[in-house]
Amino acid sequence: MWVKVCGIRDRETALRTAEFGADAIGLNFYARSPRRIELDEAIEISRSLPRHVARVGLFVNHATDDIESITDQCQLDIIQLHGDEPAEFMVDLQRRLPRLKFIRAWRMDHEGLAELQHYLGQCDPSSVVGCLIDAHVPGTYGGTGQTVPWQRLVDEYQKYSLPPLILAGGLVPDNVLAAIEEVKPWGVDVASGVESSSGVKDLDLIQRFITNARQFNDETRSLKKGV
């Protein structure tokens, strides 16, 4: 199970999160988010992380030039588009940044995922490593702690024609294993669910979240071995 912890804002928390076994660290560059990171701090975190931990930059309706500049300075591995960027915008970025991988975030509302397949069908699938499904809360771009309707997501997400599914929205240490067992995503993403207050990460919650998410892998291996 691929695990990403998003919205980390200091080097010590990033390094401890990597030690706990996170596969990716999310650096949030959205100016209106309580998890927004300053560029200098993001550069320091990126330089300090071991290479096996992916550096993911979260962008919300940024200008292309800004994304390119931040990506270069922070040596990002993955760009996560989390705003209202049209497919044409993502295609242009894919052309301009061919070495980069992409995650497209999608906020699931009452209309479900009707437009998602059409949107991603216009993009280059070779560089899209995942589609992150978050809860739709009007006026926000994620990090609300609201849960995605898991069963509806299972019913609507076309796993064989869409990128690997990354589940987000309302995940916490106490429900992440149940969420994984029901949805069976490729990965999980957490931000507010491992915070002691808005924008402030709690190392104990991060460790518990990663440990609980990994239980799915352990249980799966045990079942295959007949234990």
Q: Report pLDDT digits (tens) over 18-64.
A: 999 999 999 999 999 999 999 999 999 999 999 999 999 999 999 99
Q: What was the pLDDT predicted at 138?
A: 55
Could you tell me the two tokens for 179?
Answer: 């969420």
Task: Report the CATH number that the domain containing residue 91 is assigned in CATH.
Answer: 3.20.20.70
Q: Report pLDDT digits (tens) over 111-152.
A: 778 889 899 999 999 999 999 999 866 566 555 667 889 999
Cα-flanking dihedrals φ and ψ of residue 128, to 5°? -95, 105
User: Where residue 222 falls among pLDDT bands split at 50, 70, 90?
Assistant: very low
- DSSP H helix total and E strand total for the chain: 8, 10
Q: What was the pLDDT predicted at 146?
A: 79
Catalytic residue among 6, 74, 123, 131: 6
Q: What burial class does residue 36 get, using C-beta atoms within 10 Å of its C-beta: 0-12 exposed, 13-18 middle, 19+ buried?
A: middle
pLDDT higher than threshold 90 for residue 219 = no
Q: Report pLDDT digits (tens) over 152-187.
A: 999 999 988 999 999 999 999 999 999 999 999 999
| Averaged pLDDT score across all residues of the chain | 91
Q: Which domain holds residue 102?
A: 2-225
Q: What is the mean pLDDT of residues 67-76?
A: 98
Could you confirm whether 74 is annotated as catalytic? no
Reference 21, options 41, 46, 4, 42; nearest CA is 4
Q: What is the mean pLDDT of residues 203-208?
A: 98
Q: What burial class does residue 4 get, using C-beta atoms within 10 Å of its C-beta: 0-12 exposed, 13-18 middle, 19+ buried?
A: buried
Reference 99, options 65, 71, 74, 69; nearest CA is 71
Q: What was the pLDDT predicted at 113?
A: 87
Catalytic residue among 74, 77, 131, 134: 134
> Measured between alpha carbons, how far is residue 190 from residues 4, 111, 206 in Å?
7, 24, 9
Number of folded domains in the chain? 1
